[in-house]
Amino acid sequence: MKYTILPHTNIKVSKICLGSMTWGNQNTESEGHAQLDYAFEKGVNFIDTAEVYPVPATAETQGRTSNIIGTWLKKTGHRDKVVLASKIAGPGDYTAHIRTTGFSKEAINDAVNGELKRLQTEYIDLFQIHWPERSTNRFGIRAYTLDTEWSDNFNAILHGLDEQIKTGKIRHVGVSNENAWGTMRYLEESKTHSLPRMKTIQNAYSLLNRTFETDLAEVSLRENIGLLAYSPMAFGVLSGKYIKGIEGENARLHLFPRFSRYSSAQCTEATRQYLKIAEDNNMTLAQMSLAFVNQQAFVTSTIIGATNLEQLKENVASINVVLSDEVLAQINAVNDVIPNPAT
């Protein structure tokens, strides 16, 4: 395994982070524990969850993922050997079963305490704002419309998080699904008012979605706020299994067709071209896709997810794959012709 330091901390984290959002829905507790065992054995010490998981979010399943991590921590006694990241759910019609109070001080307190109980721990290493409270562009939206109903609350959110840090319940904070303006506003507030600094940003990044490079990459590198790249496999599309027709009936896009972000004609064509590059260079598409993300200078850790151990083994092994300049040039040539097809 390869390791890096969580920006502005002394916390060492694996370059591969184990994502968990299928546990409690597509995966059972025992399967989740098996994935944790394998990843830990291979040197993965970074685990990501959220109070809204598993996904799709429902009132019946909410919190199951963190419960599964909690029972594994209790069974193994590995709490002091792993770095735990979690998130408070933002407002939305699919999270109203959790709360409708946004990121108020009370909401942050409720979210933190709920996760501590589920995870069976006394502290969370990295606590993140899952998505902005204001309405802004994310998940493939292109045209921007100003949210005139929202009132600036960056300062209030940071004060709420600061209270949790001072109690020792969380150690560090980050953002997720945020854009450049929001990220810089958080950093401005922390500098101006001596409030907690956002250390990481967890956004989607993959061969099919390189929008992070347009402006956030510069923010990440100049401000040293590390990307925790999620969906590096584009919901499994970048495994090549859908193109090859070997995905199986329990594949994510069959079970949950609403997650069609990476299933457009443009995405399919780009994936075909990436698959050819991988095969021509004696790699699987999955390992090439993950290696591409792993190698980016602004990436602190790549969040991988799997529904079975074979997938997990292949994904973890990507840490040993290094793409040559020639392969990177071939990848960039595809992106020049079909840029960011998922957006």
Question: Which letter, b or e, does each residue of 46-71 get, where b requires 16 or more Cβ atoms within 10 Å of its Cβ?
Answer: bbbbbbbbbbebeeeebbbbbbbbbb
Could you say which of 3, 38, 53, 242 is catalytic?
Answer: 53
Q: Provide the 3-class DSSP secondary structure of residue 113.
A: helix
Where do we find the tokens 């591969």? 16
**Angstrom distance (rounded) from CA 145 to CA 148:** 9
Q: Where are the beta strands (DSSP E) in the chain?
A: 3-5, 12-14, 16-18, 46-48, 83-88, 124-129, 170-176, 198-202, 226-229, 299-304
**Angstrom distance (rounded) from CA 141 to CA 136:** 9
Where do we find the tokens 């699904």? 177
The token pair that represents 40 in the structure block: 């830990």
- Residues in a beta bridge with 174: 128, 200
- For the question of residue 38 being annotated catalytic, the response is no
Active-site residue list = 53
